[in-house]
A and B are shown apart, each in its own frame.
Chain A
Amino acid sequence: MAEASGAVWKARIGIALGILAVGYVMVAGRSTERKYPDRIPVRFWHRWQGDWEKQVWKIVDAYNASQTRYEVIPLSTPGTGSDAKFILGVIGGDPPDVMSIWNGAIPTMAANGFLTPLETMMTPEEKRHYFEDAYPAIRDSGMYKGRVYGITIGADLYALYVNVAAMKEVGADPDRFPETMEELEALSQQLTKVDSSGNYTRLGYVPGNLEYLAHTFGGGFFLGPDGKPQLHTPANRRALEEIVRQRKKLGFERVTRFYAGLNSAAGAAAWPFMTGELAITFDGQWRVEELRKFRPDLEYRILPVPPPREGGAPRGGNISGNFMIIPSSAKHKEGAWEFVKFWSGLDNPERSATFYNYGGWLPLSPRVANSPIYQAWLRENPQFQAFLDILSSENVRSKPTIANLQFLIDQVSRAEDRAIRGLLTPAQALDELERTFREESLKRKELGYVE
């Protein structure tokens, strides 16, 4: 009898624990608690994490405090799954109201009807400001077929970060940086260090990233006058040949091992430029803010990649980075649009200058860059000016805004990899790239895809 009673009690306790567990899961599974439950929610997805996410929260808090109608609720959706999560949100009828995505995905998503044309949200005055004021390369990076689908809140450019102490160590004058690719190669050679086993312990600049570097050679993978991407051009071939030649000279496997051994995955503070393993490196403008935070003592310079002695294009490059989009099926587009304007500075460049400074991001327009707040920040971070100089160069372009841009970028990267590994010559790699892209375009055309 006592045994039976014990079993009943055990069963009761079990059921009670089960209910508690289910209750906890249900409560814990609820979304973030809202600060302003009476306002219209505007759900904002972005890709930042860690310290960067904290900057996003600051901007969101500033927006929520600036008005009483909307509440922006941020959610970090980082990593490669970000786009897939967004697509699933659209399919499920529950997309965010606004999202920050990589601009390379904009044409594909716009062509497939995922995005709202943002000029439809603009007043005539906003439209005029946007088209007249925004940096052309940044503005064009958010467009597809003449319509605006993405507005920058943090566009990226790349340049060389140069360690001043390392230059002095090899007897080079940090204020007389090489003006040609050839001189840079010689300097990089001086900066290179090896250990007793012949392994690299420090490297200078190792050319790479064909898609970007091609611009410095006067090329680039953009749309030609006939509307077709220009792939195997003499300039692009020269860029790839240079990448391959220098990599071969340094030794493919030795460089690969050196890079693989760098602690670059350990976070911003372990960036190999900060730890001295890279004396010159090619990286984005956001590193200025990281250097300020983690290595304020490190003396460095930022310079554009110098063009080759003949036939180059100084300060060449293309735009990538974070652009705000509003899904076509978003529930609260008006609120989303207000937030986009607030952050990007379309309505108030002076105010948004602070936001761009939070992350060391490139501004939407010279109006933002010339604002007193931005200028004051520049005086504190004078190295950043190099990126603004590059941005104003006519050799900086947007990526080709074609529907299968993602495919093109993957194939350019593949061509570069195959050439570096010696599987194909640079000319063969670009031939293959052009053929692959042409065949893919024909396939898409036959299937009825819009380009």
Chain B
Amino acid sequence: MIALGPRRWRQNLVGWAFIAPWLIGFVAFTAWPFFQSLYLSFTRYNIVTPAKWVGAANYRMLLFEDPLFWKSASVTVQYALFSVPLGIVAGVGLALLLNANVRGIAAFRTIFYLPSIVPTVASSVVFLWLLNPNIGLVNRLLATFGITGPAWLNTAPWAFYSLLLLALWGVGGSMVIYLAGLKDIPTHLYEAATLDGAGPWQKLLRVTLPMLTPVIFFNLVMGLIGSFQYFTQAFVMTPNGGPEDSTLFYSLYLYNRAWKYMDMGYASAMAWMLFLLIVTLTALVFRTQRRWVHYGG
């Protein structure tokens, strides 16, 4: 046991003082509600009256007696399955294009990045108009090619596809990270590849993408978490779960349970199921990284 000298103590104290604002905020607004929600998931709780312990009843009902739970979980899993790979492909593709050394590239980068900083609610409202089946720009454009566009948000499965399409709107955020990743790839690797006779396609497959895998891995994990928590766009554009429950996302159903039906215990149980699912999937993705993520440089 090494005793700390007064100087060391003072240093530690200063360190703690510096992180105290964040620490207090974290404990009060994240850690405490986090553990509290675990307790609440085993209770009947309506906010006003004290929570009443009901054991595992909420979890049992969720798993065995609530078809909408499974429906919302299925919609969310489908969304994650499509939106995450789509986001990665679009993000990497865009970053590769915007990595080119051409005139005005900074302006292009800004243009593609801008949508990701538009508030989600605002962009959702804009898309409501764009996807209007009669007067929306999307169907008007399709009509010029002689195509009758679908009633996007009013019919299944088009409502779901519309939200997938909307996911690409914010791809500029990940594009910037990919771009930073591309800039980080040492030039000598490309020079060596050129000396070895590699063409552009081979350079992309053998140098760029492998070297970009840490960034892809990061975006994969973040995208996975984000897609399972998908809420705002669905809430604004199809607040009741859309046609045939096709956009009844897990978080939307959770929100309705909590705030519409005031069943906070049940909603907490839903939140914990989601948390466990996300942790499991993230752990699985982490386990696979040794096989495909290259940290060499």
Contacts and interface: CB of A to CB of B under 8 A. Distances in A.
Interface of A: 80, 83-84, 87, 90-91, 108-109, 112-114, 199, 253, 256-258, 260-261, 263, 328, 404, 406-407, 410, 413-414, 417-418, 421, 423, 439, 443, 446-449
Contact of A260 (B61, B134, B262): B134
Contacts of A253: 151, 155
A158 B46 CA distance: 33
11 contacts: A80-B239, A83-B260, A112-B49, A256-B155, A257-B134, A410-B256, A417-B244, A443-B65, A446-B61, A447-B58, A447-B266
DSSP majority for the A interface? helix
A256 B261 contact: no
A113 B48 contact: yes
B133 to A, nearest CB: 5
Given A90-B48, A414-B240, A447-B58, 12 more contacts: A112-B46, A257-B134, A257-B154, A260-B134, A261-B135, A328-B48, A404-B261, A406-B261, A439-B65, A443-B65, A447-B265, A448-B52
B54 interface: yes
Given A112-B47, A447-B54, A87 B265 contact: no
A374 to B, nearest CB: 36
Lowest 8 A-B CB distances belong to which pairs?
A261-B134, A112-B46, A447-B44, A113-B48, A84-B259, A257-B133, A256-B154, A260-B133
A109 B46 CA distance: 10
Contacts of B65: 439, 443
Most chain A beta carbons < 10 A, residue from B46, B49, B153, B265: B46
A91 B154 CA distance: 36
A46 B295 CA distance: 57
Given A260-B134, A423-B244, A87 B151 contact: no
Nearest to B43: A447
B54 A448 contact: yes
Given A91-B47, A260-B154, A447 B132 contact: no
B99 to A, nearest CB: 35
Nearest to A260: B133
Contacts of B44: 447-449
A273 B260 CA distance: 32
A424 to B, nearest CB: 10
Given A87-B47, A256-B154, A257-B133, A108 B244 contact: no
A447 B151 CA distance: 41
Contact of B259 (A83, A112, A421): A83
B243 interface: yes
Contacts of A83: 259-260
B261 A418 contact: no
B57 interface: yes
Interface string B48-89: 110010100110010001000000000000000000000000
Determine the interface band of chain B, counting residues with CB < 8 A from chain A.
20 to 34
Nearest to B54: A447
B63 to A, nearest CB: 13
Contacts of B54: 447-448
Nearest to A443: B61
A410 B240 contact: yes
Contact of A112 (B48, B61, B151): B48
B134 A421 contact: no
Interface string B219-260: 000000000000000000001100111000000000010011
A199 B132 CA distance: 15
Contacts of B132: 260-261
A413 B240 contact: yes
A112 B50 CA distance: 11
Most chain A beta carbons < 10 A, residue from B52, B135, B151, B266: B151
Contacts of B266: 447
B154 A418 contact: no
Interface in B127-173: 132-135, 151, 153-155
Given A256-B154, A439-B65, A90 B47 contact: yes
A256 B151 contact: yes
Contacts of A263: 135
A255 B46 CA distance: 41
A114 B48 contact: yes
Nearest to B259: A84
B26 to A, nearest CB: 20
Nearest to B48: A113
Contacts of A406: 260-261
A269 B276 CA distance: 50
Contacts of B134: 199, 257-258, 260-261
Contact of B57 (A423, A439, A446): A446
A250 B151 CA distance: 16
B192 to A, nearest CB: 45
Contacts of A410: 240, 256, 260
Given A87-B259, A443-B65, A261 B133 contact: yes
Nearest to B131: A260
B105 to A, nearest CB: 32
B244 A421 contact: yes
A418 B244 contact: yes
B54 to A, nearest CB: 6
Contacts of B260: 83, 406-407, 410
Given A421-B244, A447-B44, A447-B57, A257 B49 contact: no
A443 B259 CA distance: 18
Contacts of B61: 443, 446
Contacts of A199: 134
